[in-house]
């Protein structure tokens, strides 16, 4: 009935079929990090950063996800075109990485649809020097069709330990406008959020089994007793939590 919903449904089926191995590998990495108290970080620039916000500090989300927010590549930056200039500026991601205390066997989730801009490559390379494992969420067809803007010549999928393909169209938008040259309806946010929440749900289920009923998942603060339960979980996982709570 609705073209966009049909496109999303088809993409989710493709992702479930073709990305199962990569998603399972990411689940295992997140479970191991929580069990061994290694830190988990997430970053994306501009609209890709919406997924870091999706995973960060929310009811039903994993408490141990630490979002990295680069002020100059967030959507409330004015003028908005400045965000594009900053994500293409080599060295910004390196400086951003210096604000994070990356350690051996930590996990960094990086989201970039094209995977070509220096900010994510800089972050990945800096983190890998510290022994961090990289989960790259990207669009392989799109990324392979464009050149890297980083001096290394690398794109996100080439510097990631685990690569998850969102299988969207080149350019992200999915629905061709009839009578006009543009496509409309980007899919990367919906599909990316579905992938990452799948990883969090399955990892949390495994943690409950491994830890006899415990998983670092936020209760809603609007539920009676929610604040108290969250404080108890925070105490258990505080070594992995690097934001003020």
Q: What digits encode the pLDDT tens for the residues 128-173? A: 999 999 999 999 999 999 999 999 999 999 999 999 999 999 999 9
* CATH code for the domain in which residue 146 is found: 3.40.50.10490
- Residue 168 falls within a domain, yes or no? yes
Stated pTM of the model = 0.96
- 245 within a domain of the structure (yes/no): no
Q: What is the mean pLDDT of residues 203-222?
A: 93
Is residue 243 situated within a structural domain?
Answer: no
Query: What pLDDT, on a 0 to 100 scale, did the predictor assign at position 125?
Result: 98
CB 119 within 8 A of CB 70: yes
- What is the reported pLDDT for 213? 84
- Check: CB of residue 73 under 8 Å from CB of residue 46: yes
Query: In whole angstroms, what is the distance from residue 238 CA to residue 207 CA?
Result: 16
**Which pLDDT score, from 0 to 100, does residue 105 have?**
97
Q: Which residues make Cβ contacts (< 8 Å) with residue 21, sequence separation at least 6?
A: none
Question: 133-138 and 65-67: which strand pairing?
Answer: unpaired
The pLDDT value recorded for residue 214 is: 85
Euclidean distance between CA atoms 158 and 124, whole angstroms:
10
Q: Is 91 left (phi over 0), alpha (psi -120 to 50) or beta?
A: left
- Asked if the structure places residue 36 within a domain, the reply is yes
**Average pLDDT for residues 69-85, to the nearest whole number?**
94
On whether residue 123 sits in a domain, the answer given is: yes
**Residues 189-208: tens digit of each pLDDT:** 999 999 999 999 999 999 99
CA 60 to chain CA centroid, nearest Å: 16
In a domain, 244, yes or no: no
In degrees rounded to 5, what are phi and psi of residue 137?
-105, 120
Describe the crossing of helices 20-36 and 188-210 by its angle, rounded to 10 degrees.
50
Residue 211: band (very low, low, confident or very high) from pLDDT cuts 50, 70, 90: confident
Domain that holds residue 149: 3-238
Count of structural domains, the chain: 1
What's the confidence (pLDDT) of residue 174?
A: 96
Residue 76 falls within a domain, yes or no?
Answer: yes
Q: Is residue 127 part of a domain?
A: yes
């Amino acid at each position: 009935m609705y073209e966009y919903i049909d496109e999303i449904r088809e993409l989710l089926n493709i992702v479930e079929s073709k990305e199962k191995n990569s998603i399972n590998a990411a689940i295992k990495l997140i479970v191991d990090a929580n069990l061994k108290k290694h830190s988990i970080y997430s970053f994306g620039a501009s609209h890709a950063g919406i997924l870091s916000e999706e995973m960060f500090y929310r009811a039903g989300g994993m408490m141990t996800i630490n979002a990295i927010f680069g002020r100059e590549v967030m959507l409330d930056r004015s003028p908005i075109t400045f965000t594009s200039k900053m994500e293409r500026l080599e060295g910004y991601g390196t400086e951003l990485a210096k604000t994070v205390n990356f350690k051996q066997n930590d996990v960094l989730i990086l989201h970039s649809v094209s995977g070509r801009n220096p900010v994510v490559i800089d972050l990945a390379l800096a983190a890998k020097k510290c022994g961090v494992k990289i989960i790259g969420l990207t669009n392989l067809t799109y990324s392979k069709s464009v050149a890297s803007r980083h001096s290394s010549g690398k794109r996100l999928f080439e510097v990631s330990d685990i690569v998850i393909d969102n299988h969207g169209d080149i350019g992200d938008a999915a629905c061709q406008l009839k009578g006009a040259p543009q496509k409309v309806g980007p899919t990367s946010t919906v599909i990316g959020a579905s992938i990452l929440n799948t990883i969090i749900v399955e990892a949390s289920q495994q943690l409950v089994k491994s830890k006899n009923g415990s998983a670092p998942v936020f209760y809603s603060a609007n539920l009676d007793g929610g604040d108290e339960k969250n404080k108890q979980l925070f105490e258990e996982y505080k070594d992995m939590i690097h934001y003020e709570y």
